[in-house]
Structure formats: C-alpha cells, structure tokens
C-alpha cells in the first residue's frame, strides 16, 4: 500500500518516494517482495500517483489507483478485481521499508492459505500502538482482536505485543471480507483491521507471526523518523562490515547507499559515502569525507580525504587526492598518482603516470610514467564536439600548459611550461609554444585620479 499523502513529511513529494540509503522507501519494499517465491505484485497508489507509478515502472509491480483515499481497507478493495480465487495475499506497507524477505515469507507461511496472519512485534514501550489481544491466560494462543491504544483498558495497555500494519490472508476470504467492510466511523473510512473481527466471528484462525527486529517494522511518517531509520540501517550495515573485517574509524559516521565489496585490511575513515556498486581491494585506505560511486579500486591504493570518485576504475598502489575528482570513464592503471584539485574524465592513465596538482585531463590517453604539470589542461571541447588528446609514454608536461585536442604529444617529449599546443609534437623533443617575453622600459602602471 503506497497511496498515503504523508502530511507530516511536510513535502510536496509522495511519502513513499522519500529516500533511505539511496533508494526510495517503496523501492526497498519491492526489493523484499522480489525475493519471495513466484507471485504477482500490485502497488496501491493515490497521492502523487503519477510520480509513484513512474518510479515503479520496470519493477514488475503493477499500479492500482485508490481515488479517493478512504482508508486501508478501501486500498485493498481496489486490488480485489486483480486477485485470484485462491492462495495467499500478503499485504505490506510502502512506508515500512526495511521489512526483511525472511520475515515476509514467515508471515505468508503462517497464513498458509487458511489462516489470517498478523505481523506483530513485542516492544518495551507499546504506547500508541494497537495491542494484540489473545485468548485469556495464553501468551501465544489464538488472536481475538486488535485494540487501539486509545480504546485499551489499563490491563490491555500492559500488553507489549503490537500490530505492525502488515498481514497475510487467504485470498478468497480476504476478497469477501474487505468488500463487506463498513465506514461507520468518525473518519468515514474503511479499516482493514476490521477483518480480524470477521475472521474470529467465522471461526477462521487468527495467528500472529512475530518479527524479531524492531527496525524492520518501523514506519516513516516524518523527517525525524526517516532520519532515525537511516541511522539504524546504516549502523546495521556498518556492523556487518566490521564483522567482516573492515576497519571503520567510526561506524556512526558511515553511509552505504548501495553495495560494498571488499578485500582484507580495508580502512575507511569518518564521513565517507558509498553509492551504487563499489569494490575495494586488499589493503585499500579511504580517507575522511570521500564519496565513492560505482568504482573499482585495486589493492593497496590510498584515497586521501575529500576526494570524489564516480564511475572510475583505479589500479593497485595508486594515490588519489586529497580533493581529487575522478569522473565517469576515468581508468587509472597501477601506481598512478592523482593529486589535490585534479579532475580526470573519460581518460586512461597508464602505469606510473602522475598529475599531482591543479590539473584537468578530459578525453585523454596518457602513457606510462607521464608527468603532467600543475595548472595544465586538455582543451577537449570545441563547443560542439569532444576531441581526444594522446600523451605518449615518458612525456613531461610543464606547468600551466593547454593541450588543444585533437593532438598527440610524442613519446619522451617535453612541453615547456606555459605552452599552448595545438599541433602534434615529435618524440623526444622539447616543444615550447608561448609568446616571446618582452620588458618595456619606462612603462608606468595606470593610477586612479585623486579624490576631490
């Protein structure tokens, strides 16, 4: 169910599209359902339906609109025409993102196509939650109903087992029950929880499937709750990495918004963000406050603080940063050095090449052991098309040079500092392309007229 407005989010965007660990809340839920046995999935949309339906395109889930939104039971009513005649229907919430596939599967198994199964959790403090009321004198007996906190007696408020808002029901019975729901309440809405009383009245067993982890059943209704769930999730991921041998300087200051594969003896300093699919080899060190997205880094490479790597591949024994930026298409071989305030885009650097200071390499092929000077750039864009610069092995590019592509700098050549090169250069020679230095005697700098 993903039709709610989420008023407390104070946002113009649908609540289920707010992001947790780099993915929307709804995307997390759909990832869980994708791990379940063969099934059909429907997403009930309502508020911001166009945006939600666009977001789930290609997921395999089919949208069903709820217009207007008249409660949880009304949401399920919209799906009834699409349900089969038998089997189990699993109902999850689009704003409860961290439900585990094992928990969802256990809930469906508890139903077994014959029972109404409620997903519950035991909380130290159940204030505000609907309590699970069981047969008298039984802590695990048949469920008799759900009592909302405001309606609970003092004795019922001592119950710590609560309903999470998710259930599994025999499909044939669910279809009949939800179509029989009444809206005779103050909100004039159809409540899905009313089917519990219907099941009890018909003698259909109502059972509880308990989740073991509070985090996986927490919903998001406000930015505060979203931030709390983000930190819970990130700490869980950090703990898993620590258990696997990764050394995190501070697991509370770590964000993984995708997947992180790693070798042994990996060190990650504080404030780092990993997005997409990141692979770190053995003995890799990541300095503080780096952002890595869809990158592969070889053994023994050091990424110094405040570096951004996006869509890059880095070989073994390289040094990156600090304050370096590797953009998509950057491919660095072993022992390459990329220093502070150097940007590399769609370029390959062969073994041992160095660009240590304040430089730009775009659409370039750089040979082995090239030394690329501070302040130098490849002028790769003519206003309409990109062109390639080739710098062959053992070339030395002096400081503050402009290489106007397309151009090739021949093997072993040197380009003198301050040169603007727009023609290919021969191998092994010094190339200087700059204006002649002139000193003008008697020249005076202009001065401002005195103030009156």
Interval 379-428: pLDDT, tens: 999 999 999 999 999 999 999 999 999 999 999 999 999 999 999 999 99
What CATH number did the domain enclosing 280 receive?
Answer: 2.160.10.10
> Does residue 436 lie within any of the structural domains?
no
Of 218-222, 347-351, 445-449, the one with minimum mean pLDDT is: 445-449
> Does residue 440 lie within any of the structural domains?
no
Is the pLDDT at 343 greater than 60, yes or no? yes
Q: Is the dihedral of CA 47, 50, 54, 59 positive or negative?
A: positive
pLDDT tens digits along 237-280 = 999 999 999 999 999 999 999 999 999 999 999 999 999 999 99
Is the pLDDT at 160 greater than 70, yes or no? yes
> Does residue 202 lie within any of the structural domains?
yes
pLDDT tens digits along 192-221 = 999 999 999 999 999 999 998 999 999 999
Q: Of residues 149, 289, 357, 387, which has the active-site annotation?
A: 357
Paired sense of beta strands 285-286 and 272-280, if any? unpaired
**Side-chain half-sphere of 122: how many Cα atoms within 13 Å?**
8
Neighbours of 280 (CB within 10 A): 26
> Does residue 327 lie within any of the structural domains?
yes
> Does residue 437 lie within any of the structural domains?
no
What CATH number did the domain enclosing 123 receive?
Answer: 3.90.550.10
Same domain, 28 and 129: yes
Is the pLDDT at 135 greater than 70, yes or no? yes
Same domain, 189 and 300: no
> Does residue 439 lie within any of the structural domains?
no
Question: Of 217, 232, 256, which closes a domain?
Answer: 217
Same domain, 345 and 419: yes
Same domain, 207 and 341: no
Same domain, 320 and 351: yes
- Catalytic: 357? yes
Same domain, 196 and 228: no
Same domain, 128 and 252: no
Confidence of residue 137 (pLDDT cuts 50, 70, 90): low
Is the pLDDT at 363 greater than 80, yes or no? yes
Same domain, 236 and 170: no
Same domain, 241 and 194: no
Question: Domain total for the chain?
Answer: 2
Confidence of residue 138 (pLDDT cuts 50, 70, 90): low
Same domain, 263 and 389: yes
> Does residue 438 lie within any of the structural domains?
no
Same domain, 204 and 320: no
Comparing 121 with 139, the larger pLDDT belongs to 121
Q: Which domain covers residue 96, as residue numbers?
A: 7-217
Residue-level pLDDT at 221: 92
Same domain, 174 and 94: yes
Q: What residues contact residue 344 under an 8 Å CB cut-off, 6+ apart?
A: 312, 324, 325, 326, 327, 330, 332, 338, 355, 360, 361, 362
pTM of the model: 0.89
Comparing 152 with 102, the larger pLDDT belongs to 102
Q: What whole-number percentage of the chain has pLDDT above 90?
A: 84
- Mean per-residue pLDDT, 13-35: 95
Mean pLDDT score of the chain, rounded to an integer?
A: 94
């Amino acid at each position: 169910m993903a039709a709610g407005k989420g008023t407390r989010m104070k946002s113009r965007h649908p609540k289920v599209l707010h992001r947790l660990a780099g993915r929307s809340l709804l995307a997390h839920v759909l990832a869980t359902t994708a791990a379940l046995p063969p099934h059909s999935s429907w997403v009930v949309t309502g508020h911001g339906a166009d945006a939600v339906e666009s977001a789930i395109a290609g997921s395999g889930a089919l949208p069903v609109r709820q217009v207007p939104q008249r409660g949880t039971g009304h949401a399920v009513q919209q799906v009834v025409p699409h349900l089969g005649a038998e089997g189990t229907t699993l109902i999850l919430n689009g704003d409860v993102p961290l439900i585990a596939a094992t928990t969802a599967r256990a809930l469906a198994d508890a139903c077994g196509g014959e029972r109404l199964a409620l997903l519950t959790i035991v909380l130290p403090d159940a204030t505000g939650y609907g309590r699970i009321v069981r047969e008298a004198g039984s802590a695990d007996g048949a469920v008799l109903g759900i009592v909302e906190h405001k309606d609970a007696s003092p004795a019922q408020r001592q119950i710590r087992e609560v309903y999470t808002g998710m259930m599994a029901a025999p499909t044939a019975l669910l279809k009949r029950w939800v179509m029989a729901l009444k809206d005779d309440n103050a909100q004039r809405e159809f409540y899905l929880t009313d089917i519990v009383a219907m099941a009890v009245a018909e003698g259909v067993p109502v059972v509880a499937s308990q989740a073991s982890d509070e985090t996986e059943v927490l919903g998001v209704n406000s930015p505060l709750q979203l931030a709390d769930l983000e930190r819970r999730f990130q700490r869980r991921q950090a703990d898993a990495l620590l258990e696997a041998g990764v050394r995190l300087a501070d697991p509370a200051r770590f964000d993984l918004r995708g997947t992180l594969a790693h070798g042994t003896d990996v060190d990650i300093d504080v404030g780092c963000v990993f997005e997409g699919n990141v692979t770190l080899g053995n003995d890799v060190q990541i300095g503080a406050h780096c952002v890595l997205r869809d990158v592969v880094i070889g053994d023994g490479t050091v990424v110094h603080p405040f570096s951004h790597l996006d869509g890059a591949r880095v070989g073994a024994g390289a040094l990156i940063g600090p304050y370096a930026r590797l953009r998509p298409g950057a491919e660095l071989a072993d022992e390459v050095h990329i220093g502070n305030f150097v940007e590399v885009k769609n370029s390959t650097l062969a073994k041992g090449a160095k660009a240590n200071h304040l430089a730009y390499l775009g659409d370039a092929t750089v040979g082995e052991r090239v030394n690329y000077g501070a302040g130098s750039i490849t002028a790769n864009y003519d206003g309409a098309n990109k062109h390639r610069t080739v710098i062959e092995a053992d070339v030395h590019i002096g400081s503050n040079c402009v290489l106007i592509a397309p151009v090739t700098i021949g093997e072993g050549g040197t380009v003198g500092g301050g040169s603007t090169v727009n023609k290919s250069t021969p191998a092994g020679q010094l190339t200087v392309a700059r204006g002649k230095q002139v000193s003008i005697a008697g020249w005076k700098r202009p001065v401002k007229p005195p103030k009156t």
